[in-house]
Amino acid sequence: MHDPALIRWLAPAAALVAGPACATTYLTLEQAQQKLFPGQTLEELAIELDAGQWRAVEEQAGTRPRERRLRVWKSADGGYFYLDRVIGKHELITYALALDAEGRVKGLEILDYRESYGGQVRNPKWRGQFVGKRHGDAVELDVDIVNLSGATLSCRHITQGVRRLLAAHAIAVAGQ
């Protein structure tokens, strides 16, 4: 038999444990590619970091690569489009980073945001802080990238992800 008092107690407790869920897709892969490289054809590259490149990226970026395989496309004008994921507070954030032919950040877009807080990282002004950055530049939260109150972990992890991709680009992709 089911105890009604127990059920009345468990339902709210289960809701507290689960916490609020908020998953939003803002752009598909194709939409992000067209937004960052309008009207251009993109060719996917097969880039996998070898052990030496993995260590070099980690050393130069100060953060470990999530995977050996990079999701990267080359544009008709010589730019590069990266699809990457970082952890927010608890959930993954999928973002795209566009680099011009010289390896400078051309744009940053958030594709999927799954956290219930911190979505301010989609603010164009915040994302715009990365434009023009290249490997070797300071790309650090609270130094040259402003933190957003209520989105600290998302800001930190996206900033680290951009720094990691810039290092990976310089080490393993530039000139492909």
Domain layout of the chain by residue ranges: 20-173
Element (H, E) at 119: none
Mean pLDDT of 73-98: 94
Which amino acid appears at position 48 of this protein?
A: E
**What tens digit of pLDDT does each residue of 110-150 get?**
999 988 777 789 899 999 999 999 999 999 999 999 999 88
The pTM of this model reads: 0.85
Query: Is pLDDT of 94 > 90?
Result: yes
Cα–chain center distance at 112: 9
Dihedral (Cα; 147, 149, 150, 151), 10-degree rounding: -10
User: For residue 5, what pLDDT band results from cuts at 50, 70 and 90?
Assistant: low
* 37-41, 62-66, 159-163: range with lowest mean pLDDT: 62-66
- For residue 3, what pLDDT is reported? 59
- Nearest residue to 61 via CA among 172, 162, 174, 158: 162
Mean pLDDT of all residues in 73-78: 96
How far, in Å, CA of 161 to CA of 146, rounded? 15
pLDDT in tens, 19-59: 444 678 899 999 999 999 999 999 999 999 999 999 999 99
